[in-house]
Amino acid sequence: SQTIHQWPATLVQPVGSPLSLECTVEGTSNPNLYWYRQAAGRGLQLLFYSVGIGQISSEVPQNLSASRPQDRQFILSSKKLLLSDSGFYLCAWSVRRASYNEQFFGPGTRLTVL
Amino acid sequence: TQLLEQSPQFLSIQEGENLTVYCNSSSVFSSLQWYRQEPGEGPVLLVTVVTGGEVKKLKRLTFQFGDARKDSSLHITAAQTGDTGLYLCAGWQVSGTYKYIFGTGTRLKVLA
């Protein structure tokens, strides 16, 4: 069966510090991978998605970046965090070229920027 | 512009009551998914509806896709405290932005 891992689970960082959030998927190959941010109790905002190694599409211009160094690894980074970067970050995967874009989510990372 | 509007935004009901959550858009979707999310966790996929007019049942949950594939509803019969959570619809647009988007969410609280 497939599983998706995210770490860390929670993170408190000062403004201006760097960020690295990691996501890995097990039990599937060539997945589509996604990074979302969620404001408190609301819908999801897509930040980045990837259809393959080194292929990243950005949905929202901001000080965040993403990389996919391996097929089942997706990393969200920032060189300098802003207060507005606080939120709940979710990684998800879906089957590539599937008929329906059913997505499967990791447990999330709660980021607080102080 | 939010392309998938959910209503109501918040809902607090007593255990045993019935409820319906709506997901509406002016765009057509190839399919719609419904997810449930509990606090501090990632959303969990509940169901996918594909065909206009389709009805799917998952125990006490009934999902319907609109005939024109622009809207969907989730009906819960005899709600239980375990149904508490954030319900999200999502789908792949076949017009407009051609993107996979999430709805605004409905936060449900079922009281014992």
Q: Does B94 touch chain A (CB under 8 A)?
A: no
- Is the Cα dihedral B58, B77, B81, B107 positive or negative? positive
Q: Which of B2, B31, B43 sits opposite A100 (nearest CB)?
A: B31
Q: Are A30 and A49 in contact (CB under 8 A)?
A: no
Phi, psi of B44, deg, nearest 5? -120, 130
Q: Does A65 touch chain B (CB under 8 A)?
A: no
> In the predicted model, what is the mean pLDDT of residues B21-34?
93
- Alpha-carbon distance B46 to B34, whole Å? 5
How confident is the model at residue B37, as a pLDDT?
Answer: 95
- The two three-digit tokens of residue B10, written as one number: 């918040």
Confidence band of A60 (pLDDT split at 50, 70, 90): confident
Report the percent of chain B where pLDDT is more than 90.
82
Pairing assessment for the beta strands B106-111 and B10-14 based on DSSP bridges: parallel
> In the predicted model, what is the mean pLDDT of residues A57-69?
88
Pairing assessment for the beta strands A55-58 and A109-113 based on DSSP bridges: unpaired
* B96 three-state secondary structure: coil
Interface contact A101-B102, CB threshold 8 A:
no
Phi, psi of B91, deg, nearest 5? -165, 165
B7/B1: higher pLDDT: B7
How confident is the model at residue A38, as a pLDDT?
Answer: 92
Confidence band of A56 (pLDDT split at 50, 70, 90): very high
- Alpha-carbon distance A69 to A66, whole Å? 10
User: Among B90, B82, B89, which residue's Cα sits nearest to residue B109?
Assistant: B82
Q: Over the stretch B80-98, which tens digit does the pLDDT of each residue have? A: 999 999 999 999 887 666 6
B109 min Cα distance to partner chain A (Å): 12
- Name which of B102, B104, B107, B108 to mutate to probe chain A: the one with the most chain A Cβ atoms within 10 A of its Cβ: B102
> In the predicted model, what is the mean pLDDT of residues B45-72?
96
Q: Are A39 and A33 in contact (CB under 8 A)?
A: no
Q: CB within 8 A of A110, min separation 6: which ones?
A: A9, A10, A11, A88, A89, B40
Interface contact B105-A43, CB threshold 8 A:
yes
How confident is the model at residue B97, as a pLDDT?
Answer: 63
> In the predicted model, what is the mean pLDDT of residues B96-111?
87
- Alpha-carbon distance B10 to B27, whole Å? 24
- Alpha-carbon distance A86 to A78, whole Å? 12
- Alpha-carbon distance A48 to A64, whole Å? 9
Q: Is pLDDT of B77 > 70?
A: yes
Confidence band of A88 (pLDDT split at 50, 70, 90): very high
Q: Over the stretch A14-34, which tens digit does the pLDDT of each residue have? A: 999 999 999 999 999 999 999
Q: Is pLDDT of B2 > 70?
A: no
Burial class (CB in 10 A: 0-12, 13-18, 19+), B10: exposed
Q: Is pLDDT of B1 > 60?
A: no
Q: Does B84 touch chain A (CB under 8 A)?
A: no
